[in-house]
Structure 1
Amino acid sequence: MNASPPAKLFAGIAAKNPSLFRRVRVTLGDPAAWIEIDGKATALVRDLEMDRVRSLSHADQVLCPADCVPDGGLDPDRETATAQAVAEFFRRQQVRSVSVDRTLPYIFAWHLRDADIEVQYDPEMGVFDRRQKSEEEIDALAEAQAVTESVMQLVCEKIAMAGVGADGTLKIDATDLTSERVRAIAAEQFLFRNYSMAHGAIVASAPQVADCHHSGSGPLRTGVPIVVDLFPTNNVTHYCGDCTRTVVHGQPSDTVIQMHSAVVAAKRAAIEKLRVGFTGQDVHRASESVLIDAGYKSSRGQLTDQPSIQHGTGHGIGLEVHEPILLDEGGGALLEREVFTVEPGLYGRHDGGVRIEDMLVVRDGQAQNLNRLHEGLNWT
């Protein structure tokens, strides 16, 4: 028997697995597999999906489980049959060792081992290649961010131009403007644009915004900063937008104006470091040092009454809203064409929160900012 050729396997449900979807390019709800051997790719999918995968993916060949039936036959269960067919494919190719990524369902590993095929876990597989985006992927992210900004502008202006009740609550058509209502408006707007808010959205104000990931609930009020964070997914390309802006209806307090000024400066400092030759940690420390120099403290894991730093500076983005690596302590070297959000923020129960978030592409020189929307507090 010849030496085993190097082999890689991605498998599962493409509709739920971005690494697999990135290869088959079809939102498959049935089990599928993507196999790479010596630079050639094979997609193994349900028979009625073969034509779509042939036309949309870059697979060298497209098979179905019926093309790889082991001696004992295929199980009637679709997922089991796919795992059996994958193991049989490798057996016919005389592959004795397969590298797999972190998302591989155990059923595939079990059938590979049952066929005496070694399963080797590669922690960087399906991670490193997704970090460095193609120009086509960057275009898809730019489109997603542009759509996100269009909805952001609409909802921030609606908040800023709402009426005010006697108790200071915001009103539209004589009814309370709530966090839930703003999210519903955003969801409807994204639906019109063929985007979904599967992961929700944040429309939060004091005191809830002291927890920086609180989605927000209840009536919104004049004079208080409202953090709006929208992160939809394109229903066709599956690439994500992610943008945060802060809006104040009426006049912000001096404290909020100072918070906003510090956050804007922190974002600017982070972007200066977002380039090849620096690390995610460098970016975070540049941002955080500006906030600390302005008099704010880091209070991670502990909510505070006064404004404080609650999180890192940003994260990778692509087919998922949050992807490696983090712009935070321990964040590694930046790669050309990585795409990140940069989103410094300050949060407290008493004065509320301020966060501003842009999406940027790492380039050899200055980072490319995919945002165009202004970052101020006034949206009238």
Structure 2
Amino acid sequence: MDDERDYGALDAFLREAGRDGYLLHASADLADQYYLSGFDAPGPFVTLYTPERTALLVSGLEYGRATNEARADVVRRYADYDYHALVAEHGREEASRRVLAAFLDEFGATDVATNERFPLGVADDLRERGVAVTADRDDVVGDARAVKTETEIEHVRSAQQANEAAMAAAEDLLAEADVVDGVLLYRDDPLTAERVKEEIEVTLLRHGCSLDETIVACGADAAEPHNRGRGPLRVNEPVVIDIFPREKASKYHADMTRTFVKGEPTEAAREFYDVTERAFEAAFDALEPGATGADVHAAVCDVYEDAGYPTLRSDPDTETGFIHSTGHGVGLDVHEGPRLSEGADEALEPGHVVTIEPGLYDSAVGGVRIEDIAVVTEDGYEDLTDYPVEFVVE
């Protein structure tokens, strides 16, 4: 097991709930699965965590890798439980069910907890075989994942360095674009959101990272916080670029947003940006151990509301202004705990890696968002982002 990681809260949860272990049945794409097993497999496999040991059940195809790579004390394969004989007698599905039951029986697991994404069919079958399966509605593993070790923080830092290279590549395209009759041209072709995304993705690949999608949204598109953006980018209009890559080797994410204008922003857009920069700074002023996510979010809302802009705190029905939370945790998932939002009343701890991303949105103006990623420390925070906050691209 990873000696840096603290599984004390998970152990206490299992003891207090009277559970024999924590059971997962998923591929490594499920962050909890990868976190507990340390094994990166594309297909479903089984992890049983107990305070005494972590045991894996994998196919014969993955057995060698799991034995060498997994963060586990014991690795079992289906063949260890006479899988092929069971297939001949009962068929593959029933054989797989019987193997899982035998695996749990070997380790004395008759009462297990699991996360809320555990397969319903597998849970039903285990219950029919006398194994109690209970959903962990408190997300104990998610809470453990939220407090990052030094190694995990370095993984995020590495992903963020790649992110910054990609953001620089995107900004360079805007800087090098020519303005011809109010249109942005790059090497005589219209500069589009699609072209900028391509540059971002290629740059990330060269730095060992990947992403499924990113945001390059201009003008009214940018007024919708999760609009991915499309088509030509326009002069004098805000362009929101939000990049959230995953490092391939570690599987940890980063997250960063900048908003750029090529040309001259409108007075309203400039005001959006200036107020958002003040909100951004206020959030960092409030970020420290012992503060809550709600405290940080409130600091941002105060700046916006004092400047006359609506927030969801002042108007829960507003569709303009500050219409999302201040931030979220980042790690194996790009969105995980802790939350920086209204109602997030748990204290922030050293090791929490979070985004700070205030923004203002109005289709008549466009959208503006600024986002850094930071880690809470014993005496405050460390901003893991080293990229300038600038609005106008020269």
TM-score, normalization: structure 1? 0.91
Contact 1:69 1:88 in 2 (8 A): no
Q: Tell me, what secondary structure is at the counterpart of 1:277?
A: coil
Q: Taking structure 1 as reference, are residues 175 and 71 closer, same or farther at Cα in structure 2, changes over 3 Å only?
A: closer
| Residue 119 (structure 2) pairs with residue 105 (structure 1) | yes
Are the counterparts in 2 of residues 315 and 327 from structure 1 also a CA contact under 8 Å? yes
Matches within 5 A, 1:297-308: 297-298=310-311, 302-304=318-320, 308=321
2:172 to 154, 157, 163: 157
Show CA shifts across 1:199-236 (max 9, x none): x1111121111211111112111111111101111122
Which residue does 1:234 correspond to in 2? Answer: 247
Alignment-derived partner of residue 11 in structure 2: none
Find the counterpart in structure 2 of residue 145 from structure 1: 160
Return the match for 1:39 from 48, 52, 56.
52
Structure 1 counterpart of 2:140, from 125, 128, 142: 125
**3-state SS in 2 of match to 1:309:** coil
Matched, 1:320 2:333: yes
Distance in 2 separating the partners of 1:212 and 1:264: 17
Alignment of 1:1-380 (within 5 A): 6-14=20-28, 16-69=29-82, 73-74=86-87, 76-77=91-92, 81-123=95-137, 124-166=139-181, 168-198=182-212, 200-298=213-311, 302-304=318-320, 308-333=321-346, 334-380=348-394
Question: 2 CA distance for matches of 1:379 and 1:197?
Answer: 25
Which residue in 1 is equivalent to 2:5?
A: none
CA contact (8 A) 1:227 1:355 kept: yes
Give deviations 1:111-132, integer Å, cap 9, x for gaps: 3212201112212232111111
Deviation at 1:373, TM superposition (A): 0.2
1:84-141 CA distance string (max 9 Å, x none): 3222122233332111112211233123212201112212232111111111111000
Instruction: Return the offset for 1:58.
Output: 2.3
- Distance across 2 between alignment mates of 1:162 and 1:24: 47
Higher helix share: 2
**Structure 1 residue matching 2:339: 3-state secondary structure:** strand
Q: Summarize the Cα distance change of 1:327–1:60 in structure 2 as closer, same or farther, 3 Å threshold.
A: same
Deviation at 1:23, TM superposition (A): 2.8
Q: Distance in 1 between matches of 2:271 and 2:94?
A: 59
Structure 1 residues 80 and 272: CA distance shift in structure 2, 3 A: farther
Residues matched between the structures, number: 370
Structure 1 residue identity aligned to 2:225: C
Give the Cα–Cα distance (whole angstroms) in 2 for the partners of residues 279 and 143 of structure 1: 27
Instruction: Let me know the Cα RMSD of the aligned residues.
Output: 2.1
In 2, Cα distance between equivalents of 1:38 and 1:320 = 25
Partners in 2 of 1:137 and 1:301 — Cα distance?
A: 38
Native 8 Å contact 1:44 1:62 kept in 2: yes
Q: 1:302 to 1:295 in 2, by over 3 A?
A: closer
1:360 offset after TM fit, Å? Answer: 0.7
Whole-Å separation in 1 of the counterparts to 2:288 and 2:110: 41
Amino acid across the alignment from 2:163: T
Supply the AA of the counterpart residue of 2:166: V
Q: Is the 8 A contact 1:24 1:53 kept in 2?
A: no
Shift of 1:284: 0.5
The Cα of 1:24 is off from its aligned counterpart by 2.8
**CA–CA distance in structure 2, aligned partners of residues 216 and 95 of structure 1:** 49
Q: Which moved more, 1:249-258 or 1:215-224?
A: 249-258
Change (3 A) 1:351 1:20: same
Aligned equivalents of 1:287, 1:224: Cα separation in 2: 24
Aligned residue in 1 for 2:3: none
For 2:96 and 2:291, the matched residues in 1 are separated by 43
Give distance in 2, aligned partners of 1:125 and 1:263: 34
Q: In the aligned structure 2, how far is the partner of 1:336 from the partner of 1:80?
A: 47
Aligned partner letter, 1:12: A
Counterpart of 2:363 in structure 1: which amino acid?
R
Preserved CA contact (<8 Å) 2:263 2:393: no
Question: Share of identical aligned residues, percent?
Answer: 31
Q: CA deviation at 1:56?
A: 2.1
Work out whether residues 206 and 352 of structure 1, in 8 Å CA contact, stay in contact via their aligned partners in 2. Answer: yes
Inter-CA distance 69–279: structure 2 relative to 1 (3 Å threshold) = farther
Cα distance between partner residues in 1 of 2:74 and 2:343 = 41
Q: Which amino acid aligns with 1:148?
A: N
Partner letter of residue 202 of structure 1? Answer: I
What is the letter of the counterpart of residue 308 of structure 2?
Answer: G
Q: What SS class does the counterpart of residue 54 from structure 2 fall into?
A: strand
Distance between the aligned counterparts of 1:284 and 1:80, measured in 2?
51
Deviation at 1:272, TM superposition (A): 2.1
Q: In structure 2, what is the Cα distance between the partners aligned to 1:71 and 1:53? A: 20
Q: Secondary structure at the match of 2:377?
A: coil
